[in-house]
Amino acid sequence: MLTAALPTIVFDLDGTLAETAPDIIGTLNVILAHEGLDPVPVSKARELVGAGARALIERGFVLYGRPLGADKLEALFQMFLTIYSEHICDHSHLYEGVIEALDVLAAKGHRLAICTNKPQRHSLLLLDALKVTHRFAAVAGRDRFDVFKPDARHLTLTIEAAGGDPRHAIMVGDSRTDIQTARNAGLPVVCVPFGYTDVPIESLGPDRVVQRFSELPAAILELSAAT
């Protein structure tokens, strides 16, 4: 039974709940090969992933000194979406301890939701493949609303869609964008250090950093008490 006094917990997806870089970078490499460019290693994910597919493609081409015009970028973006949907979970997987942490939070009565800059269709395809869609009261991809992270409304509308109170929630993410989104919404944020960020996540000042998902319920409890 849900407890109204408990904050809604809103998760980012890529780099927070799931390691998705192999499939995302793999799709980028198909695009690069199509344009006669060499593949980039998955180790580049921290520099490239995290701001959506268009930004990923732009960043990938910048590595080769090939800036893209708007029309070319849009064409490659549409190609990316098609290819990625067919390889959404070839190598992607949940991080260790995710299921157990979700179980603990749900058992305590927290509403759980996802707010991601991954397109809605791909978010649901991935969650279905990982068999966790049913665990979330709402899933809000980049295009579910008219705004997206770091706009606070992407987060607050996600919370409302989950049946929660936008003034009483906690964001869990892995990047500068997640921290900025939470700050814009006036909400606390917990971060994991193993996701997709180009600088150490601790340097960006989240309210808590958890090294593993087994630490998340305790961090949520501390922040809940503090707020």
Q: What is the CATH number of the domain that holds 25?
A: 1.10.150.240
Q: Give the pLDDT confidence score for residue 27 in this predicted structure.
A: 95
pLDDT band, very low/low/confident/very high, at 1 (cuts 50, 70, 90): very low
Cis peptide before 39 (omega within 30 of 0): no
User: What number of other Cβ atoms are within 10 A of residue 29's Cβ?
Assistant: 17
DSSP 103-141: HHHHHHT--EEEE-SS-HHHHHHHHHHHT-GGG-SEEE-
Cα dihedral 22/25/30/34 (nearest 10): -170
Question: pLDDT at position 37, please?
Answer: 95
Tell me the whole-structure pTM to 2 decimals: 0.93
> Domain boundary residue among 59, 86, 113?
86
Q: Which residues are catalytic?
A: 12
- Asked if 86 and 46 count as a contact pair (C-beta separation under 8 A), the reply is no
Q: How many domains does the chain have?
A: 2
Q: Which of 33, 64, 86 is the last residue of a domain?
A: 86
For 25-37, give the DSSP string: HHHHHHHHHHTT-
Residue 222 has pLDDT above 50, yes or no: yes
Domain with 214 in it: what CATH number? 3.40.50.1000
Residue 3: per-residue pLDDT:
43
Whether 118 and 173 share a structural domain? yes
Q: What are the phi and psi torsion angles at 115 (to 5°)?
A: -130, 110
**Domain encompassing residue 35:** 21-86
- pLDDT given for residue 198 in this prediction: 82
Q: Are residues 34 and 70 in the same domain?
A: yes
Verify that 28 and 134 share a domain, yes or no: no
Residues 144 and 102 grouped into a single domain: yes
99 and 68 co-located in one domain: no
* pLDDT band, very low/low/confident/very high, at 157 (cuts 50, 70, 90): very high
Are residues 134 and 109 part of one domain?
yes
Inside any domain, residue 1 = no
Determine the pLDDT at residue 52: 77
Q: Please tell me the predicted confidence (pLDDT) of residue 189.
A: 98
pLDDT reading at 78 higher than 60? yes
pLDDT at 24: 94
Residue 200 lies in a domain: yes
- Looking at the structure, tell me whether residues 31 and 55 fall in a common domain: yes
Predicted pLDDT at 2: 43
169 and 132 co-located in one domain:
yes
Query: Are residues 192 and 129 part of one domain?
Result: yes
